[in-house]
Amino acid sequence: MEECCSTKPKKQHDHSEHDGHDHEHSHDTDDKTIFQMFLPAIISFSLLLIGIAFDHFIENNWFNGWIRLVWYLVAYIPVGIPVLKEAYESIVQGDVFSEFFLMGIATIGAFGIGEYPEGVAVMLFYSVGEVFQAIAVTRAQSNIKSLLDQRPDEVTILKDGKPQIVNAETVNIGEIIQLKSGEKLGLDGELISEKGSFNTSALTGESKPDTKIKGEKVLAGMINLNTVSQIKVTAAFKDSKLSKILELVQNATSQKAPTELFIRKFAKIYTPIVVFLAIGITFLPYLFVDDYQFKTWLYKALVFLVISCPCALVISIPLGYFGGIGAGSRNGILIKGSNFLDVLATIQNVVMDKTGTMTEGVFKVQEVHFNDEVHQDEILKLINALESQSTHPVATAIHQFVGEVDHSIQLENVEEIAGYGLKALINGKELLVGNFKLLEKFNIQFDFKPENIVYTLIAVAYNKKFVGYLTIADSIKDDAQLTINKLKSLGVKTTMLSGDKTSVVKFVADQLGIENAYGDLLPEDKVNKVKELKSKNQTVAFVGDGVNDAPVVALSDVGIAMGGLGSDATIETADVVIQDDQPSKIPMAINIGKQTKKIVWQNIILAFAVKGIVLILGAGGIATMWEAVFADVGVALLAILNAVRIQRMKF
């Protein structure tokens, strides 16, 4: 199995390469109507029915000899030539024993022994199965294609105050885009208009408007809902969040599930064995049977070939996984590969961060407590200046509380200490802003018990002295409780790990019913907690922001990133990206994995069971070419119909 948390570049998506089942025509389904796709089969079927009528129901003395042969050849050509062409191309590429080769041998052999109708019927039903598969794949891709259509190729930029339409790929960072009402944004940027309302459904699946104010990020794919807005470009076309998401989804099928990899390897070994067994069935009875008839045993061998064709497996299994990835995309869950669907199906523990995962991550300053040795307004200005060096949500809360940063304050030797806070020199005096562990690290004495307060605490030390603290509160997400309830119903255990103070973490965990909760953790502490779970041979999914928690994401069986739109690094490191920041998508992703795996195994059992039964009947001389057609194409069609069910499921 491929490494769960691979950050290696994925191969460019290529359907034929990935599913081991090369159907050139399946890529053309967008350009053809359903009728055009079925037309060769309709022609062949009509000629076959007429031929059977002449053979058995309409008395005549002319439908024999070369006329009969030519009639069935004409019926065979519309459906047979494309498959024989595929077989030839596979042989040229070194893949001799393909399913196309099996179909070619079986049908040409049938013609060779005069079983013309069977030869046409096998190829006809096989081709109908191919068309159904092409339609199913197209529908499975529809969610991804709708995503691909969200990125406009042209944008309107302002040059010397005049609007000018240009190719989005040519726009430089810093240029101004003018976005009219109803237009989609082509590149990531910063809103420079006072306010704007945007439909973000292309990125999150949520159609409710998202109001942005001046200075906030707006992303490619968002639709402007009201007045004309102006956006300053902050990322090149290829570097936009939407481009990264599209690349992720397009490449998703390159990450194969173990089941899928096994079937591909199985087919490569299985098919040549089937061909050689068919040769044995044809000739070996000559050594053991008194009344050996070549035509009889060749017919049995051809029946065996058709029954043994692995179509149902090589078509339906990749299609099942592809459908699972598509179902995830439709629900705003980007799954980087079918291997992660398999892992999601087996998850026993979900370990989650607190801030931004189960809580909104939008902090607000509640209280300010400073001693008499400092002037409150002055110390807050210093704190605000230092926090402006950080992107942490706490920094944003302090900035919103204090106001504009005083840029006249000279900061020196600014240092962000992971898991602790910030440190800097101001006028030669040391300023520390972070948790109380930061004060302990620098041997700052304080006569205060932080564990007595439920809120998040920001401790402040200035000039080697503890001068006070701020309390900051965060609110629990609306669907956090539903998330925990659903995880429990799936039999998944829950654990919360956070760098926030233990009392806050326990308080949130108790409210939600999370089984285990640990606070005051550094990144390496989180790693150790996950190692403890994995030492019990249990599968672990870690849910967080995918950046600060990269070591834990790498260690877990599957890393799930919340709100991946906020961070490029999240999209790179996580195995699953939840686009709309809703924790309820965590159990949904696990459920999609479970349903996908269930469908895949249903198809494997169905294919082997039916083929096994018909092979036994064939060995006893009971099964004819018609039963063989059902064992191959019939089962393949049933497997395809079963595989596409996942696209209609509600999770």
Tens-digit pLDDT profile for residues 592-632: 999 999 999 998 898 888 888 887 887 667 777 778 877 87
| Over residues 468-474, mean pLDDT | 89
Whether the predicted pLDDT of 488 surpasses 60: yes
Whether the predicted pLDDT of 255 surpasses 80: no
Residues 6+ apart with CB under 8 A from 287: none
For 97, the token pair is 């024993």
Please tell me the predicted confidence (pLDDT) of residue 448.
81
| Over residues 339-346, mean pLDDT | 92
Please tell me the predicted confidence (pLDDT) of residue 373.
84
Residue 227's pLDDT band (cuts 50, 70, 90):
confident
How far is 186 from 167, CA to CA, in rounded Å? 10
Q: Which of 201-205, 391-395, 405-409, 643-647 has the lowest mean pLDDT?
A: 201-205
Residue 24's pLDDT band (cuts 50, 70, 90):
very low
**Number of other CB atoms surrounding residue 537 within 10 Å:** 7
Nearest to 471 by CA among 504, 429, 515, 496: 504
Helix locations, 215-364, DSSP H: 241-250, 258-283, 285-288, 294-308, 311-330, 338-345
Please tell me the predicted confidence (pLDDT) of residue 380.
95
Higher per-residue pLDDT: 566 or 383: 383
Whether the predicted pLDDT of 348 surpasses 90: yes
Higher per-residue pLDDT: 237 or 547: 237
| Over residues 310-326, mean pLDDT | 79
Whether the predicted pLDDT of 207 surpasses 60: no
How far is 241 from 188, CA to CA, in rounded Å? 7
Contact predicate 500/474, CB 8 Å:
no
Q: Which of 63-67, 231-235, 324-328, 484-488 has the lowest mean pLDDT?
A: 324-328
For 568, the token pair is 């490029």
Judged by DSSP in three states, 116 sits in: helix
Average pLDDT, the chain: 83
Give pLDDT tens digits for 626-645. 788 778 778 878 888 888 88
Distance from chain centroid for Cα 292? 56
Give pLDDT tens digits for 262-287. 777 777 787 788 888 889 988 999 99
Distance from chain centroid for Cα 420? 35
For 490, the token pair is 């799936």
Whether the predicted pLDDT of 452 surpasses 80: no
| Over residues 561-576, mean pLDDT | 68
Q: Which of 139-148, 449-458, 490-499 has the lowest mean pLDDT?
A: 139-148
Where are the strands (E) in 503-594, listed by range?
516-518, 540-544, 558-562, 576-578
Whether the predicted pLDDT of 531 surpasses 80: yes
Please tell me the predicted confidence (pLDDT) of residue 13.
36
Whether the predicted pLDDT of 257 surpasses 80: no
Judged by DSSP in three states, 278 sits in: helix
Instruction: Tell me how far apart the terminal alpha carbons of the chain are, to the nearest angstrom.
Output: 27
Please tell me the predicted confidence (pLDDT) of residue 577.
85
Higher per-residue pLDDT: 175 or 7: 175
For 196, the token pair is 């704007």
Q: 19, 22, 188, 353: which is the annotated catalytic residue?
A: 353
Give the DSSP letter of residue 401.
H
Whether the predicted pLDDT of 31 surpasses 60: no
Give pLDDT tens digits for 490-507. 999 999 998 888 888 898
Residue 487's pLDDT band (cuts 50, 70, 90):
very high
Please give the backbone phi and psi of residue 332, each rounded to the nearest 5 degrees, phi first: 75, 25
Higher per-residue pLDDT: 61 or 565: 61
Give the DSSP letter of residue 57.
T
Please tell me the predicted confidence (pLDDT) of residue 546.
53
Contact predicate 238/223, CB 8 Å:
no
342 a catalytic residue: no
Instruction: Give the CA distances from residue 248 to residues 235, 568, 573, in Å, rounded to whole numbers and listed in that order.
Output: 18, 12, 11
Reduced 3-state DSSP string for 71-134:
HHHHHHHHHHHHHHHHHHHHHHCCCCCCHHHHHHHHHHHHHHCCCHHHHHHHHHHHHHHHHHHH
Residue 246's pLDDT band (cuts 50, 70, 90):
low
Which residue, chain included where needed, has tokens 């402007």?
224
Residue 17's pLDDT band (cuts 50, 70, 90):
very low
Residue 14's pLDDT band (cuts 50, 70, 90):
very low
Residues 6+ apart with CB under 8 A from 88: none
Q: Classify residue 276 by burial, with Cβ atoms within 10 Å: 0-12, 13-18, 19+.
A: exposed
Judged by DSSP in three states, 459 sits in: strand
For 222, the token pair is 């968002």
Please tell me the predicted confidence (pLDDT) of residue 344.
96
What is the percentage of the chain residues whose pLDDT exceeds 70? 86
How far is 586 from 332, CA to CA, in rounded Å? 11
Residue 550's pLDDT band (cuts 50, 70, 90):
low
Residue 143's pLDDT band (cuts 50, 70, 90):
low
Residue 466's pLDDT band (cuts 50, 70, 90):
very high
What is the percentage of the chain residues whose pLDDT exceeds 90? 33
- Tell which phi-psi region holds residue 471, choosing left (phi > 0), alpha (psi between -120 and 50) or beta: beta
Please tell me the predicted confidence (pLDDT) of residue 203.
64
Helix locations, 152-221, DSSP H: 201-204
Residues pairing with 231 in the sheet: 177, 191
